[in-house]
Amino acid sequence: MRVDDSLVIERRAVISGAGQSDIGRRLYRDPLELTLDACLVAIADAGLTTADIDGVATYPGPMDVPPGFSGAGVVDVQDALRLELGWWSGGIESPGQLGSVINACLAVAAGLATHVLCFRSVWEGSAQGDKGRAGVMGGGGGGYRASGFMEWTMPFAAPSAAIWIAMMAERHFHEYGTTREQMAQIALNARKNAGVNPNAIYRDPMTMEDYLNVRMISSPLCLYDCDVPCDGATAVIVSHADTVADLRKPGIQVEAVGTALRGRPSWDQFDDLTTMANRDAGAQLWTRTDLKPSDVQLAEMYDGFSFITMTWLEAMGFCGKGESGPFIEGGERIARDGVLPLNTHGGQLSAGRLHGYGFLHEACVQLWGEAGERQVPGDPEVGVAAAGGGPLAGALLLTRRR
């Protein structure tokens, strides 16, 4: 059922600026410094100064474990930039990483703040060094013991999202006849786009043969189905729509958001493990707008693992349930000159695991027409940014204001 427009208060928010720090596989730089770099670029991009920022939102907030997962919390940034805040929020429990941005939209609509600085920073590349995940998990000296829901995954050697998502993919393959050659297109498309993104981590061309021959991580996911840990920070500014006259460039309208979490948010008990929370968040988004999936001209959607993007394609209604395999087959539809350009910066698979915010940044850059060599042709006006996998899902439908 269509939600009454008077209730769709996220539409009172615009994205007014966006910025990123240096991004690299391992930068060995102070993560707060990276965070502030991104924040200051975004603030200047909006034509604002730190004195204009009266709100801050972030995901996941300060976290020491696992190292590298969070580069800074709200108070770190508030103190460093001496911000005077009317509203702030940081935390890991939200509709995916972009839930923090959606919170900011609601805060400006509620009049608690006018310009909210939203950021996400990571230094997982440096934190992991050459030690892999063992280098960043808790414990040491036999001190780690699984509790909570991990009590029912760790003892059974299923300790990570790679394995959980792999099992979802296998179920999708079984139910819908999806193939590795189809799923490969998410990785190949990302790499092709990364090739024309100077900030991407992996830019060398990748062929189907490369994909099919690289080592398996957790079947059916191979190395190239897994995103690449990196160091870097991303920031966007969410402003109240009434301020657009004060901004340096046209605000990008937040047309509608999706945030739902229904059913059992469990990696084994969810009713249909070929999808998860994005199924309901995506459906909800379309109840808050007159636009349709066919109006969308570019989609920047989470690829922590390539299969997750396929679930987002289905969840957002860009193809039917179970039809993401045929939809991406051959890669033409999702190419920059296709019907639905996808992950035009290279996604997290090739541009680096900036963890959700990279997709929103890219959607904004594309809608502003600032993407340079990788710019989607045809002057796109409608885009989607979506992030999260499994029980996490948040999506924004964005339009360029005229």
Partner 1 sequence: MTAMRFDLPTPDLETEPFWDAAKEERLLIKHCNACGKYHFYPRPFCPYCWSDDVEWFEASGRATLYTWSVVHRNDLPPFPEWLPYVAAIAELEEGPRMMTNVVQCEFDQLEIGMALEAVYYPTSEDVTIVQFRPRPASS
What is the contact surface with partner 1 in residues (CB under 8 A)? 131-134, 137, 139-147, 149, 151-160, 162-163, 166-168, 170-171, 174, 215-221, 264, 267-269, 273
Q: How far is the CB of 239 from partner 1 (least distance, A)?
A: 42
Q: How far is the CB of 149 from partner 1 (least distance, A)?
A: 7
Q: Which is nearer to partner 1, 141 or 377 (by Cβ)?
A: 141
Q: How far is the CB of 166 from partner 1 (least distance, A)?
A: 4
Max Cα distance, the chain (Å): 60
Q: How far is the CB of 313 from partner 1 (least distance, A)?
A: 20
DSSP string, 73-89: -HHHHHHHHT---SEEE
Q: Which is nearer to partner 1, 140 or 198 (by Cβ)?
A: 140
Q: Which of 327, 338, 347 is nearest to 380 (CA)?
A: 338
Q: Which of 228, 384, 364 is nearest to 306 (CA)?
A: 228
Q: Which is nearer to partner 1, 135 or 320 (by Cβ)?
A: 135
Contact 335, 324 (CB under 8 A): no
Q: How far is the CB of 307 from partner 1 (least distance, A)?
A: 11
d(CA 368, CA 395): 19
Q: How far is the CB of 65 from partner 1 (least distance, A)?
A: 13
Q: Which is nearer to partner 1, 82 or 215 (by Cβ)?
A: 215
Q: Which is nearer to partner 1, 173 or 302 (by Cβ)?
A: 173
d(CA 172, CA 181): 14
Cα dihedral sign, 362-363-366-368: negative
Give the bridge partners for 226, in sequence order.
305
Q: Is the peptide bond before 326 cis (omega within 30 degrees of 0)?
A: no
Burial string for 336-351 (b: 16+ CB within 10 Å, else e) reads bebebbbbbbbbbbbb
Q: How far is the CB of 137 from partner 1 (least distance, A)?
A: 6
Q: Which is nearer to partner 1, 137 or 261 (by Cβ)?
A: 137
Q: Left if phi > 0, otherwise alpha if psi is -120 to 50, otherwise beta: which for 391?
A: alpha
Q: Which is nearer to partner 1, 26 or 29 (by Cβ)?
A: 26
d(CA 242, CA 240): 5
Q: Coil, strand, or helix at residue 271?
A: coil
CA atoms within 13 A on the CB side of 297: 17
Q: How far is the CB of 219 from partner 1 (least distance, A)?
A: 4
| Structure token digits, residue 394 | 């948040």
Q: How far is the CB of 111 from partner 1 (least distance, A)?
A: 38
Q: Which of 163, 142, 165 is nearest to 154 (CA)?
A: 163
Q: Which is nearer to partner 1, 173 or 286 (by Cβ)?
A: 173
Q: How far is the CB of 163 from partner 1 (least distance, A)?
A: 5
Q: Which is nearer to partner 1, 145 or 401 (by Cβ)?
A: 145
Q: Coil, strand, or helix at residue 9?
A: helix
115 φ, ψ (degrees, to nearest 5):
-130, 110
Q: Which is nearer to partner 1, 143 or 198 (by Cβ)?
A: 143
